[in-house]
Amino acid sequence: MKNILLVISIAILSVCNGCNTSKNEILGSKEFSEIIKQKEIQLIDIRTPEEFSTGYIEGASNIDFYDPAFFEKMTKLDKKRPLAIYCKSEGRTKEALKMLADAGFEKIYMLKGGLLSWEHDGYKLVTPKPVEPSTKSISKAEYDKLINSAKIVIVDFNATWCKPCLMLKPILDKISTNYANKNVKILAVDVDESKALSNELEVNEIPLLLFYKDGKLMEQMIGFNPEETIVQAIEKYLK
């Protein structure tokens, strides 16, 4: 009998230890705010780009849960580094939590109640400053002045009907906000509004990002590019 009780006790202790070493944690706003201060944390907002553009937790990157490529994009992150995720409430986050745990992420933190609880508890969101769109046709002379209006100028050639352009917009809004005081400016040019300029610069594909440093063209990016790629280019030219 004593041996049986000993075996049962060991089994119970093993289960409890397993609970304590769980790789997933659901945290309230206060605990979540402390965890995301850690440098190694990968903070991901899994709402749509439209939701993200209305405000996000400082330091977050956006990967849309409803994007068919969501799982593929998430699994490109470092699975050994802690991951912190949130959405508007917590519905999408709960689904993502299990999916990502099964994918092999070693530690995942989830914000309990999502941004609804975060704001209710008095925590703030970063509200991005939107890139100002061009509302008129821009001449080449005006364009030449604009690309010399800051140390680093990024010109975003886009169109209202272009889906990748719309996906890129909240990312550019966020970058514009983060670099507002670092002599970096992002300008948006609608190719339909500025047809002559687009033709002169041979803009054949959109979205197209042109990177200028002190008025000199340094690099171009065609198509949708993730935030980290754009930021890396900015940091390179700021040096």
pLDDT tens figures, 175-226: 998 888 899 999 999 999 999 999 999 999 999 999 999 999 999 999 999 8
Q: Count other C-beta atoms under 10 Å from residue 138's C-beta.
A: 20
> Tell me, what's the pLDDT at 177?
87
Six token digits for residue 137:
């046709």
- How distant, in Å, are the alpha carbons of 1, 44, 76 from that of 94? 43, 14, 20
**Where is 185: in which H helix or E strand?**
strand 184-190
pLDDT higher than 70, residue 158:
yes
pLDDT mean across residues, the chain: 88
- Predicted local confidence at residue 133, as pLDDT: 66
Predicted confidence at residue 120, as pLDDT, reads 95
Residue 68: DSSP 8-state: T
| Secondary structure (3-state) at 143 | helix
Q: Is the pLDDT of residue 95 over 90?
A: yes
Q: Are 53 and 168 in contact (CB under 8 A)?
A: no
Give catalytic residues, as residue numbers: 162, 165
Phi-psi region of 16 (alpha: psi -120 to 50; beta: other; left: phi over 0): alpha
> The tokens of 207 are what?
């979205």
Q: Judge contact between 179 and 131, C-beta under 8 A.
A: no
Confidence class of residue 163 from pLDDT cuts 50, 70 and 90?
very high
Residue range 26-85, pLDDT digits in tens: 999 999 999 999 999 999 999 998 898 889 999 999 999 999 999 999 999 999 999 999
Query: How far, in Å, CA of 127 to CA of 177, rounded?
Result: 8
Q: Which domains does the chain have, with CATH numbers?
A: 23-120 (3.40.250.10), 140-238 (3.40.30.10)
Q: Using alpha carbons only, what angle is made at residue 85 by residues 83 and 86, rounded to the nearest 5 degrees? A: 170
